[in-house]
Structure 1
Amino acid sequence: MLNSVSIDAILSQFWEFLKTMVNIRRRHFLQLSVGAGLAVAAHACSQPQSKIAQGDGSESPGKIAVGFWPVASGLPLFVAVEKGYFQAAGLEVEAVKFANPNQVAEALIAGRLQGTGNGVASGALGLAEITSPGLFKILTSNPSNVNYVLDQVIVGQNSDIKSIQDLNGKAFATGPGAQNLAIAEAILSAAGVADPKVQQLEISQHVAAIESGQIDAAYTLEPTGTVGVVKGITRVLENGVVSKYILGDAKAPWFGGSAALSSKFVEQYPETTAAYAEAYRRAVQDIRDNPTEVRQYLTGYTAIEGELVEKVPLVGYTMYDEFTPEDIAYFQKYFDFMTDKGIFSRPIDVAALMYKPA
């Protein structure tokens, strides 16, 4: 059985991110300095790379610091480090753990990082882009949907609720913050739930709140659903709810997280960037070809361990040159939703964020 301490640690990682979303819209990452001007200046001036090597003109970027949130979708970075793919490409990459995606985005703005791993929320990166325009380029995004599971609605194992439409008059919870509240309300409204009343609750409490009868159902994120099932407390009512109810198709890709490099790094070190991207691609291909074998690399980088390593769902991965026009359209639709709901203060052009080799 799963260790209860490990479960609490896993769920608390999600809570640490979600609770920051309460104020993220207002702050727009300005706590990095005395104001946005200093944040932008930090991005422009404080990238701690070495100079171009003397003599033959080859690039010598030094250590490449890549921030990650310790969740399952960060797997490509873990694989690339542990299997030596970066080292084989002649790169010195340091994977740096942060408590939540907000902190990763802040460090990217400040120039303490040169990139991010997958699993860092695309919404958090979008807010960073608003604060510091032209901040980063996306190398890989991690889509989820009904098949590649991340987002879900859960209910009690023995609940008589059969569909989201049955949630009229039921106590429904979502994670804290404007983004999660907007997503939950949009899901319920699209499913025909009249006058939805949603309460915000720490994601680490969703399973326990259902067990105690405090709530009837919750919009949540994996591994919450898997933990609840393994413990015999909850069952998944529906997976891929963002894709179905916000993007309009249960199989549509919701690009909820992304791996990126800073635009300054990409411009200064184009050959290094290309080598980094190909090493990262090797890791993505490993996950596609050998998902069972690579799950072991979740241990140590995340709090996912024991039985959960084999059970937690894995999301998909789309490299920068694998995006179809339809993919870009769905990614844009999600960002437009964020703008419409007031999470983003202005529209963001997703296509302009994609890495394009020199």
Structure 2
Amino acid sequence: MPRRGDTGQVYRSRVRIPIIAVTMALMAAVTGCGALGGDSGNSSTSGSAGASGPVEKPKIKVGLLPVVDVAPLYQAIDKGYFKQQGLEVEPITVSSGPKAVEGMIGGDLDIAFTSYPGAFVAQAKGAAKLKIVADAYAARPGHLVLVALKDSKLQRPEDAGGKKIAVTSKGSISDLGAMSVLETKGVKVEQIDFRQMSFPEMGPAMQRGDIDGAVVAEPWVTRTEKEFGALQLMDVSSGPTQDISMTGWAAMEKLTTENPNTFAAFQRGLAKGVDDVKKDRGTLDQILVKNIKIDQATAQLVHIADYPVSLDAVRLQRVADLMKKFNVITSDLKVQPMLLASPVAK
């Protein structure tokens, strides 16, 4: 099993005391999972859609996790799509979604890969004023799954009440999505004991009996199945969470305003990477092996969801509404003003 630093330099935060309160809020709502849904035709964004000219910041740092969601970014780097836009993108592997957002708020990262709850809770609680720069991943069957071992006390979704279930973070798509689906099965979700840990830690924790099950995202669905014999008990991206948006690329609003050409260049380069991986599964598999450090045999088995080609306010609003339902945020959050407009193709 790969270590956290297998896909690159692990980001170690240099954020100091002023960020601690922010970090505590973020830790309750950020995760490294991903998922996506198709465009609904109701895309609504704000910002400068026609940004052009030389980039203001030719080199940017992007914090990310080793999950399938980020494949288009690696493709755009490897194929020189960002360089064609006059932009150098440095991917920095972080240990968790909260670290990425923390680094972005502290100024050590320019863009953070994050689950949408992580960005939305920061916005709703006033920890940061953010823009969603681009969509990353939306749910499809088989991507985000509740799993358990065959000798676990958790043998079916209806058994989840009172069980210890691992998630990458609380208040994330992992636990919010799981609770949403489990409610439809009559489970008293407030009785679930959610335990925070990274994806690589979940398989061994199940094997030791420290937890009864885990909510894992690809490639960890396939990996825990192959390496630990994990059984898939419930698709978290089903029923009330079918096709829900899961992860995206976020930045501080002030930075996007001051550097419109830079972020337009990032969006254009990333869009080419998205186009490549949507067209060719072989290209995607190569990225999973090279950059996400999955072996070739496993890469071919990984369930792939969808890489959206544009931001969609209606689809992303579903996430904010789910957060409100389970009291991750206490008031309504309107997502549309957070979305950064897509640039003119170039």
TM above 0.5: yes
Q: Is residue 124 of structure 1 aligned with residue 124 of structure 2?
A: no
Between the two structures, name the one with larger relative contact order (CA 8 Å, sep ≥ 6). Answer: 2
Change in Cα spacing, 1:160 to 1:271, as seen in structure 2 (3 Å) is closer
Match of 1:234 among 224, 230, 233: 230
Do the aligned residues in 2 keep the contact of 1:157 with 1:232 (CA within 8 Å)?
Answer: no
- The 5-angstrom pairing of residues 80-91 of structure 1 reads 80-91=76-87
Alignment of 1:302 with 2:298, yes or no, is: no
Could you say if the C-alpha distance between residues 75 and 182 of structure 1 is closer, same or farther in structure 2, counting changes exceeding 3 Å?
closer
TM-score by length of 1: 0.70
CA 1:138–1:319 in structure 2 vs 1: closer, same or farther (change >3 Å)?
farther
| Deviation for aligned residue 1:102 | 0.8
Structure 2 unmatched ranges of 5 or more = 11-19, 27-52
Name the larger-Rg structure: 1
Per the alignment, residue 61 of structure 2 pairs with 65
Q: Does 78-87 or 195-204 show the bigger shift?
A: 195-204
* 1:254–1:331 Cα contact (<8 Å) kept: yes
Q: Any idea what SS the aligned residue of 1:137 has?
A: strand
Give the equivalent residue in structure 1 for 2:109.
Answer: 113
For 1:293 and 1:272, how far apart are their aligned partners in 2?
27
C-alpha distance in 2 between matches for 1:262 and 1:184: 29
**Structure 1 position 224 matched with structure 2 position 220:** yes
8 Å contact 2:67–2:292 — kept in the other structure?
yes
The question of 1:96 aligning with 2:81 is answered: no
Aligned residues of 1:106 and 1:128 also touching (Cα < 8 A): no
**How many Å apart are 1:198 and its aligned residue?**
2.2
Q: Compared with structure 1, are the counterparts of its residues 342 and 91 closer, same or farther at alpha carbon in structure 2 (3 Å cutoff)?
A: same
Amino acid at match of 2:83: Q
CA gap 1:86/1:195 in 2 versus in 1, 3 angstroms:
closer
Between the aligned partners of 1:29 and 1:278, the Cα distance in structure 2 is 31
- The separation in 2 between residues aligned to 1:217 and 1:315, in whole angstroms, is 22
| Inter-partner Cα distance in structure 2 for 1:220 and 1:58 | 41
Structure 1 partner of 2:185: 191
Measured in 1, the distance between the counterparts of 2:168 and 2:154 equals: 24
| Residue pairs, 1:26-45, within 5 angstroms | 27-29=21-23
Q: CA deviation at 1:87?
A: 0.9
Question: Using the alignment, how far apart are the partners of 1:320 and 1:299 within structure 2?
Answer: 26
Please, which of 310, 322, 332 is the counterpart of residue 337 of structure 1?
322
Distance 1:61 1:243 in 2: 41
Structure 1 distance, partners of 2:181, 2:127, is 31
CA 1:345 to 1:300, structure 2 compared with 1: closer, same or farther past 3 Å? farther
CA offset at residue 256 of structure 1? Answer: 1.5
Asked whether the 8 Å contact 2:54–2:86 carries over to 1, the reply is no
What's the offset of the Cα at 1:122? 1.5
Q: Which amino acid aligns with 2:104?
A: L
Greater shift in the superposed pair: 207-216 or 341-350: 207-216
Question: What is the CA-CA distance between 1:127 and the residue it aligns to?
Answer: 2.8
1:271–1:28 distance in 2 versus 1, CA, 3 Å: closer
2:253 counterpart of 1:260: no
Aligned equivalent of 1:173:
165
* Stretches of structure 1 lacking an aligned partner (at least 5 in a row): 17-25, 33-56
- Kindly provide the CA deviation profile for residues 194-240 of structure 1, in whole angstroms up to 9, marking residues without a partner as x: 5774233445454455556676644333333212322361221232x
Q: Deviations over 1:170-211 (max 9, x none)?
A: 845232653255554443222123577423344545445555
Q: Work out which of the residue numbers 278, 287, 291 in structure 1 matches 2:277.
A: 287
Distance 2:341 2:282 in 1: 32
Alpha-carbon RMSD: 3.6
Amino acid at match of 2:341: K
Alpha-carbon distance in structure 1 between the residues aligned to 2:302 and 2:66: 14
SS of residue in 1 equivalent to 2:145: strand
Report the 3-state secondary structure (helix = DSSP H, G, I; strand = E; otherwise coil) of the residue aligned with 1:319: coil
1:32-78 Cα distance to aligned partner (Å, 9 max, x none): 9xxxxxxxxxxxxxxxxxxxxxxxx8544231222212222111111
Alignment size in residue pairs: 301
Q: Secondary structure at the match of 1:93?
A: strand
The correspondence of residues 195-214 of structure 1 with structure 2, limited to 5 A, is 197-201=191-195, 202=197, 204=200, 206-208=202-204, 210=206
- 1:273-312 superposed Cα distances (whole Å, 9 cap, x missing partner): 3332121111000010012223222345434334333322
Quick one: which amino acid aligns to residue 137 of structure 1? I
Deviations 1:61-100 (A, max 9, x none): 2312222122221111111111111112222222222211
Structure 1 residues 297 and 181: alpha-carbon distance in aligned structure 2, compared to 1, 3 A threshold: closer
Following the alignment from structure 1 to structure 2, what is the Cα–Cα distance between the partners of residues 305 and 138?
31
Label 1:156 to 1:332 Cα distance change in 2 as closer, same or farther (>3 A).
same
Q: 8 Å contact 2:77–2:89 — kept in the other structure? A: yes
In structure 2, relative to structure 1, the CA distance for the partners of 1:269 and 1:173 (3 Å cut) is closer
One of 127, 139, 162 as aligned partner of 1:144: 139
Letter in 2 for 1:73: D
- Whose helix fraction is larger, Structure 1's or Structure 2's? 1
